[in-house]
Amino acid sequence: MSKIQVLDQNTINKIAAGEVIERPASVVKELIENAIDAGATAIAVELKDGGISLVRVTDNGSGIEKEDIRNAFLRHSTSKIKSVEDLFTITSLGFRGEALSSIAAISQVELITKVKSGLTGIRYSIEGGSDKSFEEIGSPDGTTFLVRNLFFNTPARRKFLKSSSTEAAHVGDLLEKLALSHPNISFKFINNNQIKLHTSGNNQLKDVIYGIYGREITSNLIPILANNESIKVQGFIGKPIIARGNRSYENYYINGRYVKSAVIGQAIEDAYKTYMPQHKYPFTVLHFTINSDLLDINVHPTKMELRFKNKEELYLLVSNSIKDALSGKELIPTVTLGSNNEQNYYW
Ligand code: ADP
Ligand code: MG
């Protein structure tokens, strides 16, 4: 008797889902990235039970065409790339076509979507990867995903979920990062009927920082704006007095994507070295715009790590612009030669 079996698609999807979807925050991340890629200017996230029983993500983006809805849930189906060459110039957050198939494999999904040109919207339900219903329904332009009972059919995975409040906290952290990455988009986060975060989408990064970190941090920021031929960096860094004991305030984004990068992290910390005691880490929110052909974002499925073609250039731009900002007059008590010769502290 032969012992080798080719796994059916449903089993393959369930296994693959484990790579992409670990907890409610991973569902939220994938759905928000899709909403951003769809051009949404307002995105709302609502959780019940920390997202374990319900994650709802609503956007006012492009919507999904009726004929594309079922395909969107197939593995490796994407509207964002056509061939491997496109990977080198990718500008969207998603491109692997794995998220919707993964989410649908391990939960009960309801999708309501309408494109601007559509007369009505469509409501589609899919559970554990199987079609449940597909019908026309009145709805506003854009897309709403309701993801219920995460891991209902994979109890082994469900066991690894933490308490509702811990899962909700992960989603909260994620939303802060996403709001900081896109100050031009209004984000609203509701947990157990309470609004936890609401940004205006007015494109003022400082307003988003204020909404998340409050007055103390916001009044101790130094703006950064620098560029070389291929890289632009802009945003805010914190004065050394608002340093922390861990790296959780070191945020930076490349082409709108929250990333971790050894080169950027090193450049930031080296630049602060002479201003900061040991084991203290700075506050930064920096947005990098880098030509996509100088990046390889295809390194890891969760896409937190990137490879650069021009590491040294990036290092120098970051460390020099931060050093310049820190050594600027804001930090140095300057003596004004005015009438009363008072010392003027800018911070
Ligand atoms: P990827 O984002 O890698 O393309 P996904 O599985 O996340 O793969 O999504 C599959 C496709 O479904 C996307 O390429 C897109 O065309 C469509 N889609 C998903 N979410 C949305 C949304 N909120 N608005 C419009 N289109 C969407
Ligand atoms: Mg996606």
**Residue 334 within a domain:** no
Q: 169 and 73 in one domain?
A: yes
Average pLDDT, the chain: 90
Q: 62 and 175 in one domain?
A: yes
Q: 242 and 119 in one domain?
A: no
CATH of the domain at 87: 3.30.565.10
- Pairwise CA distance, residues 148 & 335, whole Å: 62
**pLDDT, tens digit, 9 for 90 and up, residues 116-151:** 999 999 999 999 999 999 999 999 999 999 999 999
What the block records as the tokens of 199 is 């940004």
Does residue 125's CB lie within 6 angstroms of at least one atom of ligand 1?
no
Q: What is the pLDDT of residue 310?
A: 84
Q: What is the pLDDT of residue 297?
A: 66
**pLDDT, tens digit, 9 for 90 and up, residues 234-247:** 999 999 999 999 99
Q: 317 and 174 in one domain?
A: no
Domain boundary among 198, 230, 246: 198
Q: 275 and 173 in one domain?
A: no
CA dihedral 329, 333, 338, 340 (to 10 degrees): 170
Stretch 243-269: mean pLDDT: 93
Domain count, the chain: 2
Q: Is the pLDDT of residue 106 over 80?
A: yes
Distance from the alpha carbon of residue 17 to the mean position of ligand 2, in angstroms: 13
Instruction: Determine what percent of the chain is predicted with pLDDT higher than 70.
Output: 91
**Residue 49 within a domain:** yes
Q: 119 and 42 in one domain?
A: yes
Q: 175 and 237 in one domain?
A: no
Q: Is the pLDDT of residue 99 over 90?
A: yes
Residues shown for the chain = 347
Q: 293 and 225 in one domain?
A: yes
**Residue 39 within a domain:** yes
Do the Cβ atoms of 230 and 313 come closer than 8 Å? yes
Domain of residue 256 covers 219-326
Does residue 319's CB lie within 6 angstroms of at least one atom of ligand 1?
no
**Residue 150 within a domain:** yes
**Residue 347 within a domain:** no
Does residue 100's CB lie within 6 angstroms of at least one atom of ligand 1?
yes
Q: 135 and 175 in one domain?
A: yes
Q: Is the pLDDT of residue 264 over 60?
A: yes
**Residue 114 within a domain:** yes
Stretch 199-226: mean pLDDT: 97
**Local confidence band at 345 (pLDDT 50, 70, 90 cut-offs):** very low
Do the Cβ atoms of 27 and 146 come closer than 8 Å? no
Distance from the alpha carbon of residue 59 to the mean position of ligand 1, in angstroms: 12
- Pairwise CA distance, residues 240 & 269, whole Å: 11
Does residue 80's CB lie within 6 angstroms of at least one atom of ligand 1?
yes
Q: 96 and 133 in one domain?
A: yes
More confident residue, 56 or 86: 56
Do the Cβ atoms of 91 and 292 come closer than 8 Å? yes
Q: What is the pLDDT of residue 14?
A: 84
Does residue 34's CB lie within 6 angstroms of at least one atom of ligand 1?
yes
Distance from the alpha carbon of residue 219 to the mean position of ligand 2, in angstroms: 36
Distance from the alpha carbon of residue 61 to the mean position of ligand 1, in angstroms: 11
**Residue 240 within a domain:** yes
**Local confidence band at 341 (pLDDT 50, 70, 90 cut-offs):** very low
Does residue 96's CB lie within 6 angstroms of at least one atom of ligand 1?
yes
Q: Is the pLDDT of residue 340 over 50?
A: no
Q: 131 and 44 in one domain?
A: yes
* Nearest CA-CA partner of 93 in 152, 149, 39: 39
CATH of the domain at 276: 3.30.230.10
Q: What is the pLDDT of residue 284?
A: 98
Q: 158 and 85 in one domain?
A: yes
Q: What is the pLDDT of residue 263?
A: 93
**Residue 203 within a domain:** no
Element (DSSP H or E) covering residue 302:
none
